[in-house]
Amino acid sequence: MKPRTPFALFTTTGALAAILLAGGGQAAAAPAHNPVATAHGTFGQYTEGRTASTYDPELVPEGARAGVFSLSTPALGTTTKLAVTGLVPERHYGAHVHTKPCGATGTDAGPHFQHVQDPVSPSTDPAYANPDNEVWLDFTTDARGTGLALSHVDWSYGERRPASVVIHEHHTSSAPGEAGGAGARLACVNVNF
């Protein structure tokens, strides 16, 4: 039997989401936003319209790949999956959902998306910068450079929508004054959440 890759898991998860969201044969009002978001891309240098951009090719090489799946509904909350292949083997990375699309630099993606926004920016207060108020997708790659992360929060996206997933230099800190910090922004994936 052939082992499933992280990308095969996205196909299965997407099919399950479609079944869950297909109401029992009754017509329903269309949601304001699609509750399912997916993005798949191969990392390369940033160009406008590129799905996956790398800002540090030593740690996120050109040709590495990423996939993002998100299901966000008021009844279910928000589940987000990130799968990567071709990264540095056996290395810790941080990753978060960010407010803006990828740009020429990692900072263009804006801050972490927060359900309850910290009035202070940048947010380093653990009351706001935490995995229950943000979407944290930290992962560790295996011996082949493959990694998988999963986040579930009890809230759904409303009218404010995030626009990207940023991969960071190391796992995310939760210490006061450092909460939410994960080092340099290494790469970015545009996602139409």
How confident is the model at residue 41, as a pLDDT? 98
Q: Taking 60 as the threshold, does the pLDDT of residue 189 lie above it?
A: yes
How confident is the model at residue 15, as a pLDDT? 43
Q: Taking 60 as the threshold, does the pLDDT of residue 1 lie above it?
A: no
What's the pTM value of the predicted model, to 2 decimals? Answer: 0.86
111 C-beta neighbours (distance < 10 Å), count: 19
Where along the chain do its domains lie?
Answer: 33-190
What digits encode the pLDDT tens for the residues 148-172?
Answer: 999 999 999 999 999 999 999 999 9
How confident is the model at residue 170, as a pLDDT? 98
Distances in whole angstroms, Cα of residue 140 to Cα of each of 43, 89, 170: 18, 8, 9
Residue 47 dihedral angles phi and psi, to the nearest 5°: -140, 150
Please give the angle made by the CA atoms of 20, 24 and 28, to the nearest 5 degrees: 90
How confident is the model at residue 62, as a pLDDT? 99
Q: Does domain 33-190 have CATH number 2.60.40.10?
A: no
What digits encode the pLDDT tens for the residues 98-141?
Answer: 999 999 999 999 999 999 999 998 999 999 999 999 999 999 99
Bridge partner list, 54: 187
Average pLDDT of the chain? 89
How confident is the model at residue 26, as a pLDDT? 43
Distances in whole angstroms, Cα of residue 52 to Cα of each of 84, 104, 139: 11, 11, 18
Confidence of residue 79 (pLDDT cuts 50, 70, 90): very high
Q: Taking 60 as the threshold, does the pLDDT of residue 16 lie above it?
A: no
| Contact status, residue 193 vs residue 70, Cβ threshold 8 Å | yes
How confident is the model at residue 33, as a pLDDT? 80
How confident is the model at residue 31, as a pLDDT? 56
Q: Taking 70 as the threshold, does the pLDDT of residue 2 lie above it?
A: no
Give which of 3, 168, 135 is closest to 69, Cα–Cα: 135
